[in-house]
Amino acid sequence: MAAAAASPALKRLDLRDPAALFETHGAEEIRGLERQVRAEIEHKKEELRQMVGERYRDLIEAADTIGQMRRCAEGLLGAVRATDRYCARLRRAGSAAPRPPRAPQPQPSQEEFYSMAAQIKLLLEIPEKIWSAMEASQYLHATQLYLLCCHLHSLLQLDSSSSRYSPILSRFPILIRQVAAASHFRSTILHESKMLLKCQAVADQAVAEALCSIMLLEESSPRQALADFLLARKAAIQKLLNQPHHGAGIKAQICSLVELLATTLNQAHALFYTLPEGLLPDPSLPCGLLFSTLETITGQQPTGKGIGVLQEEMKLCSWFKYLPASIVEFQPALRTLAHPISQEYLKDTLQKWIHMCNEDIKTGIATLLMYVKSMKGLAGIRDAVWELLTTESTSHSWDMVCGRLLEKPLLLWEDLMQQLFLDRLQTLTKEGFDSISTSSKELLVSALQELESCTSTSPPNKHIHFEHNMSLFLWAESANDLPSDAAWVSVANRGQLGRSGLSMKAQAVSPCVQTFSSALDSKLKVKLDDFLTYLPSGDSSLSKEVTPKQAKNCAFDRYGDAGTVQEMLRTHSVACIRHITDYIRAELQSIEAAVQGQQDALGSGKLHAALFMARLCQSLAELCPHLRQCILGQSGSSEKPVRDSRALKKQGKGKPQEVVPTQAQWQEVKELLLQQSVMGYRAWSSAVVHVLAHGFAQSLLLDDAGSILATATSWDELEIQEEAESGSSVTSKIRLPTQPSWYVQSFLFSLCQEINRVGGHALPKVTLQEMLKSCMVQVVAAYEKFSEEKQMKKEGAFPMTQNRALQLLYDLRYLNIVLTTRGEEVKCARSKQDSRIEKVTDDLEALIDPFDLDVFTPHLNSNLHRLVQRTSVLFGLVTGTENQFTPRSTAFNSQEPHNILPLASSQIRFGLLPLSMTSTRKAKSTRSIDSKAQAAIH
């Protein structure tokens, strides 16, 4: 053990250099190394001794064996030489002896002996020939040989009860084993023949021979043969359906199943069907093959023709001439006559078999289709079945075969598989769109959480910053504002997928909305591409134009269920969008309830989330072209969505036209998205109006002199000529307001800021109208509250002067003009609002001298008209498109200076541009502001 333990240590040392060894080790270590080396040497010597001893014993044993073999070979050679010498002596003695006389000819008793010997010889050779026939799959020939063997047993009395005492068995004991071996052939031939019936790629003649073998061995009737054939095919179907499932092998299994069904019916016709009397057989459509084969095997051959079963096997053998005639002319026979099967019985049996296999086939195919995970896989299986049934070898005379056997066509696709494929399509579609809606909902939830959790002062990324302030995105330049091919490709030829960044800004589509829409559209594209593999390619109208000849050659219409599949796709697409919009509706309702009545709601993340969902619903229909294609079908991809509104307008103007159901569903989806978009914008607009109107009301209700002076604006001084009582003209000066109060301007400007912050040019028209209407309602309510407080005449309140009432009247009329829409659809809703405005106006006019009011009114209206035109561009979308582009029909007064450009007589593309006031007008305004302020104080 010590030597073994020291061996690795010695291997690590270099003992070839003693000088280095003595330099690195001391004396004691050197002695220890010496002892280890000596111990290792002794260990190696002992191993060498043991190895030599063991090999020496083996060598001695091998030498002894070689010597024994040499002695055995020498003895064998001696025995052979002795045998040669003995044979030589016998030859010499035989040549010296006299030749015996010729033997006499065999007597008749010897003929019987030779006949028995030939039968025994044939009996010994038949098993080998049976096995050869079995190996060559010639089961009918093996059956004939087996029946001949049984016939030989009966002739030789080998199968009788007294066979043990038979003189033949006593002379030839080997025949006992031969009889026992022949008894197993029957079960083997039956088993192999029935196994052949379960194979589908077998010729009709081979099946007929196998059935004949079964009938001869079991002595059964043709009806029993039909039952055996159908039961074997049913077992083959079950075996095929229960094979292990491997992805790509599903198509092969289903095609093999269809081929097995078709082959079974064709072979049933070829084997069992017999033509009625008077009809000539069709060479291309064989029938009655089983009965013709039976007649050939069991029919009696004319005398002198053929030798039955042994005709080809034993003709050249020398002992063949001694076989008796019963063996030479042997042919199998049935106990009962093989009557043909009636057509009625054949039809009933086949129909029962089809009905019995129907449930197994449907269950098996449904189980197989569970392993197909895509529409492309289903389409591949369907097309493979179509090609299989359409091929010439399968579809040849299929209708005639079904008509003869079943008296009706057997539709393998329509009756067995089409509904199973549609059910699997339904499941895959539901799973796919459920996955899309779930992932889209998760993406939406994460986006909303990110928007609500981040403040505008510290956004995590640029895209969230753009969601907080859309104007930053709209006015920020980026490299993708224009596409690279913008110089030579027009917008009309670019298509929907080639949108530029500038077009997204024009529609106020934020990057977060683009990201979400792109993700949803890519998922829909994958699902749509998978669906299109199941639908006909190209225009559906072209696929329907099939000639009658082509339709006759096709096994079935593989695109016959295209309408059902498209409806399935359309239904699930709409359900997916409804699932997303339901979640958006719930979120918007919670946001609307959370921000209602809050004064700090404008900077909260919930409003940003509401705006994000509103923009998303507004642009989703346009940014997801594959959603449109899923609902409208393949024809929807070629139509441009821009033409939808124009087409609807034309339909509204002209006679009512029929609306395609798919178009109606697409319009419903767009309206649903628009409703959610308007709901989101409504949550934002109500919060904005509430906050701004609250500030406006607070400024309006301030009653101290400082606040009134702080909100005062410049007035205009005008010279008017009046006729005195004497008839002479009197010139007097009047002062009128030309600008609204500061809090009015601040209110309108803040409203414009908030609208532009969210991309107001892309807001829905109904949102702007509702927002302006709400603003006007709040403004009127503030003025009503102001009038009520003035009528109460609180102590210490600042008195209401005529100038202040005039300014308030000017402000109210200006707000009424700016915030009131001119659309026809809101005229009915304005009647109640106008009565409230008129009441507040009457209250304010009651505070002004009637004579002064008559004098001021024309000039006040002129100032109002001029102010509206001057501020129409400044306040942008607040004034409404109806007010911006109003044509001007009155002529210009050369004496009155204007600070706006003349308006064109027709609608123009850009709004009005404000100009600076003249120096004279500025001077007048500067001089009149002091007097106006003093008058307001008094």
Contact 584, 611 (CB under 8 A): no
Q: How many other CB atoms sit within 10 Å of the CB of residue 71?
A: 9
Q: Closest Cα partner for 287 from 181, 367, 204, 229?
A: 204
Q: What are phi and psi of 30, to 5 degrees?
A: -65, -45
3-class DSSP string for 880-895: CHHHHCCCCCCCCCCC
In sequence order, what are the residues at sequence separation of 6 or more whose Cβ sits closer than 8 angstroms to the Cβ of residue 510?
463, 466, 467, 470, 473, 612, 615
pLDDT at 371: 87
Res 549: pLDDT? 47
Non-local (6+) Cβ contacts of 29 within 8 A are none
Q: What is the pLDDT of residue 312?
A: 58
φ and ψ of 731, to 5 deg: -100, 130
Does an H or E element contain 564, and which?
A: helix 562-595
What CA–CA distance (Å, rounded) separates 215 from 190? 10
CB atoms within 10 A of CB 907: 11
Distance CA 377, CA 248 (A): 9
Cα(732)–Cα(586) distance, rounded to whole angstroms?
A: 65
Q: What is the pLDDT of residue 555?
A: 67
Task: Identify the pLDDT of residue 292.
Answer: 86
Q: Which residues pair with 831 in a beta bridge?
A: none
DSSP assignment of 606-672, as one string?
Answer: HHHHHHHHHHHHHHHHHH-HHHHHHHH-GGGGTS-TTHHHHHHHHHHHSS--PPPHHHHHHHHHHHH
pLDDT for the residue 554: 64
Continuous segment of H or E residues that includes residue 723: strand 715-723
Q: pLDDT at position 185, please?
A: 85
Kindly give the parts of the chain with pLDDT less than 50: 1-6, 103-106, 160-164, 300-307, 456, 459, 539-549, 638-656, 824-826, 883-909, 915-938
Taking Cα atoms as reference points, which of 371, 414, 356, 365 lies closest to residue 235?
A: 356
Question: CA 693, CA 695: separation in Å to the nearest integer?
Answer: 5
Kindly report the number of other CB atoms within 10 A of residue 583's CB atom. 17
If phi over 0 gives left and psi between -120 and 50 gives alpha, with beta otherwise, what is residue 633?
A: left
Distance, in Å, from the CA atom of 758 to the CA atom of 472, rounded to the nearest integer, reads: 10
Q: What is the pLDDT of residue 491?
A: 62
User: Distances in Å between the alpha carbon of 638 and those of 534, 629, 635?
Assistant: 20, 9, 6
Helix (H, G, I), strand (E, B) or coil at 465: helix
Query: How many angstroms separate the CA atoms of 659 and 374, rounded?
Result: 33
Residue pair 667/629 in contact (Cβ under 8 Å)? The answer is no
23: CB partners within 8 A, 6+ apart: none
Phi and psi for 279 in degrees, rounded to 5?
Answer: -95, 135
Rg (CA), the chain: 55
User: What pTM value is reported for the model?
Assistant: 0.68
How far apart (Å, rounded) are the C-alpha atoms in residues 690 and 181?
107
Distance CA 327, CA 321 (A): 11
Torsion of CA 261, 266, 272, 276, to 10 degrees: 130
**Residue pointed to by tokens 């030859």:** 91
**Angle in degrees, 0-180, between the axes of helices 742-757 and 661-700, rounded to the nearest 10:** 150
Residue listed under structure tokens 């002004």: 848
* pLDDT in the model for residue 454: 61
* Residues 471-478: contacts with CB under 8 Å, at least 24 apart: 471/756, 471/757, 471/759, 473/505, 473/510, 473/511, 474/505, 474/508, 474/759
Kindly report, residue by residue over 308-327, the tens digit of the pLDDT: 566 555 666 767 777 777 77
For residues 189-225, one letter each, b for 16 or more C-beta atoms within 10 angstroms of the residue's C-beta and e for the rest, the string is bbeebbebbbebeeebebbbbbbbbbbbbeebbbbeb
